Each structure stands twice: as structure tokens, then as C-alpha cells.
A and B are shown apart, each in its own frame.
Chain A
Amino acid sequence: MINEIVIAGFGGQGVLSMGKILAYSGLMEDKEVCWLPSYGPEQRGGTANVTVIVSDERISSPVLNTYDVVVVLNQQSLDKFESKVKPGGILMYDTYGIHKKPTRTDIKIYPIDATEKSIEMKNSKTFNMIVLGSMLKVRPMVTIDSVLKALKKTLPERHWHLIPLNEEALKEGGNLIKE
């Protein structure tokens, strides 16, 4: 099983760190993983995207043109990546600020109100964990337990008290997906 994912949005939305935590979660399950960011000045304020691959087998190319899962967090990224979802793949987008909705019919589309939920949770920093929770509900490539382990591995000890809040956000993210 191979999961080829791209996450895209504004710099500052936690795109790269969400990708990193996903990659670490795969590592916790002994899967093959890779994480390739768009880097350089474009990270700062502009759009940022990251390719993450979580696989049971050796990963060949870290550079991809089409993806199993596309997670977009702003309009520009939606415009750019809608066409790059593999047929039958998943397109997930945060509804906040989206005025032009996706139109493809050969893929599964999941609009989520993640920004709204993070405001509700009174902590904008939970945003990317809400999105990750939603994504893993739709495509459970790693367990929530592994994500929590990954958080513990990547966060410095002084931030471990934030892990329960992140756990809550992951759960709330999952709840945004209605069957």
C-alpha cells in the first residue's frame, strides 16, 4: 500500500509541520516515508506545499505529479492541485475563504470546516491537527496513536503538555467527516 499525498496552503498554516508529523507517524509504524517541502523564500508568507509519501514498500520518486490524497488549505492551492488528484483519489479542502469550489466528478471531495473548528476550540494552532484528523478519518494510513507518539518524538519536552490538546484536535477533525 502506498499513499502519495500533497498538503498545500499559506505559509504559517502549519503545512510543513503537519506533513512532518504525518511522516514521523509512518516512521512509528516502521513504514517507508519521505517528506519533501517546497523551500526557500516562498515559505515565508506565500504558498507552501509539502509532498509526503507513506508506503509499505521502498519509495522510488519523492517528486510526483499526481497524488492519492490532496489536502489544500487556500484557494490558490485548490486551483493548482485539483487537477493533480489521481482518478478515484481524494481531494480535501478547508472551506474557509473558498469561493470557487472544485468541479471534478471522478474523485472523492471532502470540504471540511477546519478553520471554523479551530476558532471554536479557541486555539488557531490546533488547525493543522484538525485537518490531519480529518484526513486520517478518510484515509487511515496511520493510527491516531502513532500520531501521538510522533508528536512526543518531535516536540521538545517543554511542549508535551500540549499533546492532549492536539489529541482533542485530531478527534474533532475526524468528527468533521460525515459518512
Chain B
Amino acid sequence: MELNDIIKPENKVYSEPKLLNRVHMHYCPGCSHGVVHKLVAQVIEEMGVAEKTVGVSPVGCAVFAYNYIDVDWEEAPHGRATALATAVKRLWPENLVFTYQGDGDFSAIGTCESIHACNRGENIVIIFINNAIYGMTGGQMAPTTLLGQKTATCPYGRRPDLNGYPLAITPLLAQLDGTCYVTRQSVHTPANVRKTKAALKKAFENSINCKGTSVVEIVSACNTGWKLTPEKANKWMEENMFAKYPLGDLKDLEDGIQR
């Protein structure tokens, strides 16, 4: 096939999503955020709902998500994204409203807002990036940091007597009457990327159809924070993270929550 044939529209098998802005991302090479951003942009585009989508970005590495995905965004104070999203969705009930939060934002400083938004059954989507570390501030311990894992604030490894235990918050949220869909995914292989995309699509549809709160946890690699190469980071994630945070659906109510 000649180049001219390859670039014919009918031969196109893949293109970057139009909702992904053509700017350099600040994420480290090997980070999962870039892949997840692309999926979010793809799904919104495929669903044709950019006109009524509002994203809420966190404090953490993804604070600048609003520079990368070309929809309307609010930037939240640290941990409060679900409170902002609650108001947006209640005031604009036809919109697709999602938050994009890391483990520190969602399950440390924002735990109260996270749990109560889920418990009220707010019709929002929470995209929860769990990489077991604070990336932006330079690799400190997160609630999800594994026992023995070394970080800047547990340099000799996380100890339960000093630091308590890793927090698996999604199983807790799955127990709440307000959540309709709780799932845990990853984006470290093409197969997992496809599954995560399907999960995001289902969650976004739930928001538009007001079925309750959807939580999509994405177990992710932070090779810089973990001080590993991207390849080794993915391997470390498979061997250690998945044991504590196993992948799969925790809850899926087809008809939405009981009101």
C-alpha cells in the first residue's frame, strides 16, 4: 500500500480523539494519567456529549486535566471535587458530571465528601486514580500506600504501627445504597485499556441517565514516585498492587439505585 492509500479516510483505523488538546502533557513518561485522559476524551466524543459535560479536576497530578481534555472544567479545592460535582449535577440535572481524583485527594483529605456524595447517590462519575503515592508533591505516603512500600514520608517502608493500613475505599463505597456501579480497572495492557474504556462508558451513561453514583477506580503506576522504570513499575503493580486492590466489578446495578 502506498502512503496515499494509507491516509485515505476509509482506510483509517485509529485517530487521536478530537477532544484531546494538542498540547504537551506534564505527566511523566510511563504514567497512567495520559492513557486515562485519552479514554475519557474518546468516550465523551463517541457518546457525543461534550455539549453537556462538566469535569471537576482535583489537586494532585491531574490538577491540569482541564488543559488536556477539551470540555468545560471546574478546578476544585483539595479533596472537595465530589462536593462541587454534587452542586453541578443538581443544578444542571441533564449534564454528564464527573470528577477526576487521585488517592490523596479522594481517599485522604476528601474522604468525608467522597463518602457522602456516594451515599446520597449523586448522579455523578468518580474517576479515582489509585497509584499508592502522592505524585505531585514529590512521592509522599498516601492512604493507599502498601505496607512496606517506601515513600518520602515513610522512607523505611510503611509500618502499620506507625502509619496504619492501606485503605481500600472502593469496597467500602460499594456497600453504600447510593452507588450503582463500582469497578476497579487498570490501563497497563491493551486488554485492560479496552476494559477501562467500557467501564467509563457505562459510568458516563449512568450519570446521564441519573442511575446513582458510579466509581471507576483505576489502579495506576507512578514509576517516578516508585523510583522504577515504566516497565518495572507495571510489573511491580501487577505483583503488589493487584493483591491488595484486585481488578473487577464490585457492584453493578443495571437499573440504578432504589429511590
- Are chains A and B touching directly in their complex (CB below 8 angstroms)? no
Please give the residue numbers on chain B whose beta carbons come within 8 Å of chain A beta carbons, in ascending order.
none
Please give the residue numbers on chain A whose beta carbons come within 8 Å of chain B beta carbons, in ascending order.
none
